[in-house]
Structure 1
Amino acid sequence: MPRHHMRYAVIGTGAIGGFYGAKLQRSGLEVHFLLHNDHAHVQRHGLKIYSKDGDFSLPAVHAHVKSATIPVCDVVLIALKTTRNYLLKDLLPPWVADHGILLTLQNGLGVEPRLAQLVNPGRVILGGLCFICSHRGAPGEIHHQDYGSLTIGAYGDGYKPQGVTPLLETMANHWRQAGVETFLTPDLGYARWKKLLWNVPFNSLSVVLSATTTEMVTNPQTRTLARDLMEEVQQAAASQGVAIPTTDVEQMLHSTATMAPYVTSMKRDYDHKMPLELEAILGYPLAVARRKGVALPRMTMLHQLLQHMDRHNRHSGGEVPGETPAVAPA
């Protein structure tokens, strides 16, 4: 199908889904956005993106408050926080079991297997890893501070590498024409574990230490702790047959040191008394490593600390449902 005839749906129009969906619409694609809190505002005023690459507005967008009103689309972007995945069964459009490519832009490990349980066998599921610093502002506003690239890979059962397919090449062209730096990975599992090299230390420690990325990476003690956590991610990945070279660790530390000071998404969620993405980022990796007999003491302690902090924080602001505890595959 020609690119200009492709239709996209965005499930979760926040800092990630709103930004990337807006880029797609600006490039000429038809995009339908599912929103909750901002629906009325966005329906009237559209979306506004404040970006380091240049601000832009979409005065009119297809805004939906219910997935049932979204027409059949060729690609469905899943951009919810993983803490809201318990809603996916109800939030996904009714036609999604049989139609459309599913591309999840969520953090962590284990999101694709759970998505596969909600659709018919044989459906195409892609994983997208966003390397971006962005956050929501006022209703209908998204602030893009730094980076913005996207890595896409095809999901196979158990994260079996699928290679780079013609479909992936087509998808990459869509994103590149939208001005998004896009990479393809032949091994989605490896890419997921590599992303955890950043998410495990910096998302987690930002909450415990109440610190920005710059504060964490420029402090010698905290930088050492981050490196130690990265080494445990390497051990967890190795237990699943995924080898992450030390050069990836060094590259991730360097990238963090050179980015603009950033308040992580987990810290923003904590500050707003929202559930933390603990299971996708810590719980699931710990669970799969534990099944292989691999002990990860620092990650385990961090998970336990954050579980306590998360429960106490949400209880003090009115309880909000959290994630379903991670269950490792048999």
Structure 2
Amino acid sequence: MEQMIRTARIEALGQDPVIRDLPAPRAAPGQVLLRMGAAALNFADLLKAQGKYQEPADPPFVPGLEGAGTVLEAPAGSGLTPGMRVVVSAPGTMTQVMAVDPDAVQPIPDMMSFEQAAGFQVAYGTSHLALSGRGALAEGQVLVVLGAAGGVGLTAVEIGAAMGARVIGVARGADRLQVVRDAGAAHVIDSADCADLRGALRDLGGADVVYDPVGAEPGEAAFRALRPGGRFLSIGFAGGRPPALPLNHALVKNIAIHGFYWGGYRQLDPQALRTSMAALFDLFAAGRLHPVAGATLPLEALTEGYHLLRERRSIGKVVITL
């Protein structure tokens, strides 16, 4: 008799996920079989469900791009063994059992819970690799983080502070700003009450690096507050559109504009991903990183998680337990 598992599926573009009882998958030769403990929602999951993601999928498909669980089966030579606690970075994590290639799996520290690990990779990985790589953030420099209370923005605040930068966090509302302060921001700006973000940032001395997961008008304003030689990191467009950046300013002020898509490094430089993640796990084990879950929900409440993201009501990551 086949083992049945609970699995989320997007069955039509533009619709919320449904939960189905389906036969458990079996690992193909060379694959790892995982019992999933938790998975995280990302803004990319919203785009994918709408058919707007850069790596589209045809329905029906299982949502989720990252998660954590326990190894059930592993091929010889993979360095993985049954019972090992791991993170996985692959499409289709919103399910109780999944089969993936070993390259998508990495062990986690013993003290890291599945809920912490599930939302760790994309958010922390994006911020660490963007800031330490293309952003070339150095100790003592000024980092401006837009959407600083979001799942990705909050990690940029935390990592920037850990790297010795002076962090300015931009977010909406007193509760969110307090979370941003607690994550290490030296200054915070309430986007709901700030009519001139460019002026506010310039009053604080301008920026060496802008980390922008928002785009639209906030991205444009922060770009104009960059110092000569600054770096602008385009992470995403939660504001609804890319920022219209004046390239003449980039030329005159020697500003570098970098697009950064963490998932693209699976092909571009997979070793950079693994090296970055190992460094992040070391920081976590040393007590220097403290993942914040904006909401932890059971699989049956996955639709509520989509609404939290869509309406920007979450602080930190939305995690789904499996």
TM over 0.5: no
Task: Indicate the structure with greater helix content.
Answer: 1
Task: Say which structure, 1 or 2, has more relative contact order (CA 8 Å, 6+ apart).
Answer: 2
Task: Indicate the structure with greater strand content.
Answer: 2
